Structure formats: structure tokens, C-alpha cells
Chains A and B, each alone.
Chain A
Amino acid sequence: MDNVLSARALMGLSLGFHIIYATIGIGLPLMLMIAEGLSLRTGDELYHQLARRWVRPAGVLFAIGAVSGTILSFELGLLWPRFMAFSGPLIGLAFSMEGYAFFVEAIFLALYIYGEQRLSRRMLFFCTIVLSVAAAVSAVFVISANAWMNTPAGFRLVDGKLADVHPFQALTNPAWAHEAVHGTLAAYVATGFAVAGVYALSLLRGHRSEHNKRALTLALAVASVSLPLMLVSGDWSAMTIAVQQKPKLAAMEALFTTARGAPLYIGGWPDPATGTVLYGIRIPTLLSYLAFRDPDALVEGLDAFPPGTAPDPRLVHPFFDLMVASFFIMLAPAGWFWWLRWRRKEVPLNKWPLRALLLASPFGMIALESGWLVTEFGRQPWISRGYMRVTDGVTPQTSIGLVLFTFFVVYLALTVGLLILLMQPATTEEGAKTTQGDRHVDS
């Protein structure tokens, strides 16, 4: 395989893998915090037990997140040394800050997991607060590095060398704010729905315990509060991208020709050969309105950019649509659940609402991964937009295809191993029930 393609595939594989674990590492602490907080406030022990039962999966997933994050930090150098030699002085700061946040996270997770018999309930609650904040902060910082690749800032290039370096300006680059907000909220939605799915399945299988009902309600509450905020932050992101990253917007929306009153295409397959969208639903002027709040606004299409400087819409538009579609796939069952919950003043245990939730449960993660792919594919062919192409950032080493193959096998082995372990929930559940609180807890 081509060296650049191998490097991209490996980076993509590693990130796609890491994102799942990192996301849960952001979402789960928030749920721990809410459960511990509720337990303290209401004096209801069940909430505390709920949180303690999440400790073990949290520990394992956090560990895999840490290890896969280490792989990524190495791959920055192994695959993209030329890019790092250029950008290290600028995005290194974001990674450093993320590192400290991660360190704090590791410390307070250890305190929370191992400190149950040594710390008061208030102190345990405090640990979950620090944990949630540190997790969110580490996401926000690491996203800054990604945002910098989209909207590089904080430097000038003089004869191909960095000059006027302002690392804090690089950190607070233009795309950071909307990416960080949208990305962090997405982690809450994805984790909330994933956890809700686990408990929906458990309820469907007839384990109608108070524990399962509360866990489902709590997880879905976190997801449902974040879900409308995703719409708001997504809209903000699109409007910002329309100004900052015009080629990405054109590729996202499969807009081939620059137009006033640009149409919005829902679905369909963009065909660059003919410059049309096949089988898509076309809504006139909606894109101009959504992007600029003006139905007559001029939106630049892919034809506005010189050849070889804009992304391929075939890789961007479908993932964008998948992300947006996931939103509605999650919205409907969540709405149904809360409606029944409100009507009956009790967690609905009917088959179909729970089945709908179960079906929707992976879509938070699907939306997050596709949103990430939109950002990355939408930046192509640049590794640092306007300054360095992906092909110029790659390592001069030639055997990257072999490295890709090696890591593919490694990830496969890890995933198979994890699945085998997660597929034995019955024995673990029973073990957790019979041992009181602390014995089953380890990481």
C-alpha cells in the first residue's frame, strides 16, 4: 500500500479506536458525579451502589483509553515527523495541558476506586467532581490541537521557517471554541446512550430491578439534556465553518457550484464527474439560510477553490448526513421514553420503547465517529490547512504498510479480547450482587 495511505489508515484506525474509550472516559465520570451527588442529597444508598457498580468497567475502559492514547502520542512522531517538526512548538502546548488534566484524572480515579473505605462520602463525591472536570478539560485541550490543524494560528512563515510564534494564540485558534463544545457534549450523548442501551437490554431480559430502572433513567437523562445542546452547538459549528473553512462546508453539503440561495441536499451520493448529487433530496435556499441566516446568501461551492485544495465530497457528505441522521434516530426514542415516563410517573417497561432505545443506543458513538470523520476528511488535502499538505507531513520511512498491518492485528486482538470479556456479563452481575460493594471493585 502507498506510504501516505498506510500512515493515514493507521492514524485513522488508532484514533477511531481511541475515541470510543476516551469518550466513555469523559461521559462516565459525569454520571458517577451525578449518582454520588444524588446519593448524598437524598440519602438514598442505591445511587451510591449504582456508581460503585460502574467503577470496574470505568477502570478497564480508562486503562485502554490511556494505552491507546500512548500509541497515538507515539504515532504522531512515527507517522508524521515532518508535520510535528513544524507544528510541535504550536500544538505541543495543547497536548501538555491535556497531559496534566489526564494526570489529575488518573489520580482522582485511583482515589475514587480504591478509596471507598478510606474516604468519606463527601470526599468521594468531591473526587467525582474533580474527575468530571479534569476529563472534560482534557477533551477540550486535545481538541484544540485538532482545531489548529483546521485553522492554524499563532505564527508566521518566513522562508519556510516558523516566526512570530505565539503558542497561546495557537491554543485558542478560531475553530477551537465550537469544536471543543460540540465534541465534549457529543461525548456525554454517546456515553449516555451507550449506557442506557445496556440497561434497556437488561430490562428487556426481565431484570426489572430498581437498580436497572434508575441507571437507565440517569444515563438517558445525561444524554437527553445534552442532545438539544448538540443541535445548538452543531448549528453554531456549521455557521462558523461557513466563514472559516469554506471548502469543508461545501464538501459537507455536497455543494458543487457557488450559488446565491444555495440548496440543502439531504442524503444522496455526490458525483464529482458530473457535479451533481444523485438520489438526494434537494431543499431550495435552505443551505444559505442555515449557514448565514439569509436565504439569498452566497455560499461558495467546490468550484470556488483551485483543483487539489478542497476535499472529496464523497468522503464528507455521507458522514455528515450520518451524523445528522443519528441525532434524529436518538431523539425519537428518547422523546418517547420521557413522554411515557411523564405520563405514568414511572419508568416505562414496555417492550417497544425499550427496544427503540436499544436500537438507538450505538448512534451516539456512530454520530461522534462520523462527526470526527467529517472534520478530518473535510480538511483534506491539508494536514495543516493552507500551510502543509498531508503528503508533506508524512514520514520518509518506507515500511509503513507493514506497521499498519502489525497494529491492525494488535487492535483486532484487543477488540476480540475485550468482547470476550464483556460477553460474560451474567457471571459478573451475579458476582457483583453477592459481594457487598467493595469486593468486586477493581480496575
Chain B
Amino acid sequence: MWTLDTLAAGAVYFGLVMYAVFGGADFGGGIWTALASGPRAQEQRDKLFHAIGPVWETNHVWLIFVVVTLFTAFPQGFAALFTALLIPLVIALIGINFRGAAFAFRHFGRQTGERIPFMVSIFAVSSILTPFALGMAVTATATGKIVFVNNWAQAGPWFWISPFTLVGGLVGMAICAYLAPIYMTVRTDGELQSDFRRQGIIAGLVFGFLTTVEIPVAMADAPLFADRLLTVRGASFVALSVISGITTLILLWRRRFQWSQITAIGTVILTITGFAAAMYPDLLIGQLSIRAAAAPPATLRAFFIVLVTGIIILVPSLLLLYWTFRGEPNPKLPQ
């Protein structure tokens, strides 16, 4: 199990988790920007924007990390994925593009105060589109519909649209919409905090409902994935994520926001881990194993040398970042 190729697959998994936990919350902020309602809708939107402002670029780097790790360590798998999933990935990319631009433009154009509503709607729509398309792309790898002919990946042009991937896309959105308001509960107080608490509870129920529905859908639509998910290994992660999700709801109900933030992250990590456990040992289920897709050992060794060096440089830098911005956000600071 602890071979270089599974470790490299672990790096891809780690990147996905980090992107979901950090970047996902940013997308969730966009989703709730669209769904904000009630007397404090504008305040909610502003708070979400301010929270995302300083961090979204750093969070975004995790997606690039996943892509680079894929083509360095799993060139065959990368080529297959990016050939078969051309359309959903293009959709996600357009979303990422407009979202980043809308965000940057909003900040830049702030003093003039013009065009902001337009930017907000672009920001909101692309925040919904991107996790949905990415969720579909990720779950499409579990359908077993990407097949290899003459060593080359082939799939129907619309294979990635099926009940299983559609629910997968919704789960992607739900993960984002779940994390953002829960993170916000510890950054706000009073009525605004209650708003975010209510949003967190709603999103948690939706998230739980969608992941539950995904299991019978998988049995019909992605049978191999369903089989592996219902083995002891897969099922134990499913059970743990259910426990973690229910705990989060209880904690939110009882207004233990610090703790609910931790268990919410746990729920998301466990959900992704359950997916990864059911995929293991394949990169494309039933068609391409991690081992078969892996780059030559020399590349994997070099990849880990660079990874360790990178971590040695990054960890102190990140600690400095978080240490500098510890404590209450300074209201005088740029937003």
C-alpha cells in the first residue's frame, strides 16, 4: 500500500481535500451570495465578500496543485481524464475565470461604486456553475464509462451526464454551500450569526440528503463504485461521515460554533475519503489503476523531493501568514 504511486495518489487526494475545505468555502460564499435573503441579505453578502477577499488566491492554488500533481505523477491518467472530461472541465474553467475576474474587478471598481450588482451576479452564477461542473467531472471517473481502446481513453461525448454525476455535481455544490456559512458563524455575531447558523443547518440537511440519495443512484448507474463503497472500508467512512454530519447539526443547533466548524470540515473530509476509498486502487474505476497510470519511479521520487522541499518553505510562510492575521479582523484593514 505504501508504494510511491499510492503516495502520489495520496497527494492528489490531499490536494482535493484542501481545495474542497478552503476553496470550496469560497465557492459556497458565492452560492450564498445568490441565495442571501431576508432583511440582512446585503450584510450577509458583504461579510462573505470580506471573508473571501484575502484568501481566495491562496486557496485557489490547491486546484493548480491537483492538476500539476496529476500530470506529473499520473500522466496517462491526466491525459485520459482531460480528454474524456473536456466539456465539464471547460465549463468549470469558464466559471473559475469569470469568478476570479468578477472578484478582482469588484474590488478594483469599488470606489466608483458602479457595475457592482452586475459583478455580484457574475460572481454568484460562476460560483454555482464551477463546483457543479467539477463535482460532475470528479464523479464521472467513478462511472466506469471511460474505457481504453488501443491504450487511449474513449467515452461518449455526453457520458458525463447521468443521474449519478448529476447528483455528484449537486453534492459538489452542497459541500461548498455547507462550509461557507458554518465558517461565517465564528466570524460574525448577533442576528447575522443566526442567519449563517440557519443557512448552515439547511445546507447540512441538503448535503446529507444528497449523499444519501447518491448511494442507491450509484447502485443503478455506477455499480462497481457502489459495490466498493459498500465494503467494510468504504462503508466505515460513510458511517463516520454520517456521524460527523449529525454531530455538526447538533453543535450548530446548540450554538457551539467553534466545534461545529471542526466537525463540518471533518464531514467533508470523510465524504471525500469515502469516495476515494471506493475508487482505490483505481484512478478511473475498473479501467485504469493508480499503478498503471503512474509515472516512472524516477519522476515520482523527484516529485516527492520537490514536495518535501516545498513544504519546508511553505509551512513557515503559512504560519507567518496566519500568525500575522491572528485574532479579530481589524475593521480598518482593507477588505
Contact = CB atoms under 8 A, between A and B. Distances in A.
Partners in one complex: yes
Interface of A: 56-57, 59-60, 62-64, 66-71, 73-74, 76-78, 81-82, 84-90, 92-93, 95-97, 99-100, 102-104, 106-111, 113-115, 117-119, 130, 162, 165-168, 395-397, 399, 403, 406-407, 410, 413-414, 417-418, 420-421, 424, 427-428, 431, 438-443
A66 B100 contact: yes
A99 B64 contact: yes
Contact of B295 (A77, A89, A396, A407): A89
B96 A70 contact: yes
A100 B305 CA distance: 13
B78 A77 contact: yes
Closest 10 CB pairs of A and B: A92-B72, A77-B82, A88-B75, A81-B79, A100-B310, A67-B100, A89-B295, A85-B79, A89-B299, A167-B302
A391 B223 CA distance: 38
Contacts of B72: 88-89, 92-93, 95-96
Contacts of A62: 57
B104 A63 contact: yes
B148 interface: no
B104 A103 contact: no
B45 to A, nearest CB: 16
A403 B87 CA distance: 9
B161 interface: no
Interface in B164-213: none
B307 interface: yes
A90 B334 CA distance: 42
Given A107-B321, A414-B101, A418-B105, A84 B71 contact: yes
A167 B72 CA distance: 10
B3 interface: no
Main SS at interface, chain A: helix
Nearest to A430: B111
A207 B115 CA distance: 28
A64 B101 contact: yes
B306 A110 contact: no
B334 A439 contact: yes
Main secondary structure of the interface of B (DSSP, over half): helix
Contacts of B317: 103-104, 107-108, 130
Contacts of A113: 54, 334
Interface in B39-87: 53-55, 57-58, 60-61, 63-65, 67-76, 78-83, 86
Nearest to B335: A442
Contacts of A413: 98
B333 A114 contact: yes
Contact of A63 (B76, B103, B324): B103
26 contacts: A64-B100, A70-B60, A70-B96, A84-B75, A85-B78, A92-B72, A92-B75, A92-B299, A92-B303, A93-B303, A93-B306, A96-B72, A100-B306, A106-B58, A110-B321, A111-B321, A111-B324, A114-B334, A115-B324, A130-B317, A165-B295, A417-B101, A427-B112, A440-B111, A442-B107, A442-B335
A78 B90 contact: yes
B64 A97 contact: no
B1 interface: no
B325 to A, nearest CB: 7
Contacts of B82: 74, 76-78, 81, 84, 395
B79 A100 contact: no
Contacts of B93: 70-71, 74
B314 A100 contact: yes
A427 B313 contact: no
A407 B95 CA distance: 11
B334 A88 contact: no
Contacts of A442: 53, 107, 110, 334-335
A443 B98 CA distance: 16
Given A106-B57, A410-B94, A441-B334, A89 B296 contact: yes
Contact of B105 (A68, A100, A399, A421): A421
B35 interface: no
Contacts of B159: none
Interface residues of B, number: 70
Given A70-B97, A88-B78, A100-B310, 11 more contacts: A60-B104, A66-B100, A70-B64, A78-B82, A81-B82, A84-B78, A84-B79, A96-B303, A103-B317, A421-B105, A439-B334
Given A89-B72, A168-B302, A414-B101, A82 B60 contact: no
B67 A73 contact: yes
B292 interface: no
Contacts of A395: 82-83, 86
Given A60-B108, A118-B325, A86 B53 contact: no
B108 A71 contact: no
Which one of A57, A78, A82 has the highest number of Cβ atoms from chain B below 10 Å of its Cβ? A78
A219 to B, nearest CB: 20
Contacts of A60: 104-105, 107-108
Nearest to A87: B75
B109 interface: yes
Nearest to A123: B324
B57 A86 contact: no
B97 A414 contact: yes
B318 interface: yes
A107 B318 CA distance: 7
A427 B109 CA distance: 10
B302 A93 contact: yes
A156 to B, nearest CB: 11
B152 interface: yes
Contacts of B83: 77, 81, 395-397
B102 to A, nearest CB: 9
Given A406-B94, A417-B101, A96 B64 contact: no
A76 B71 contact: yes
A7 to B, nearest CB: 11
B64 A73 contact: yes
Interface in B319-335: 320-321, 324-325, 330, 332-335
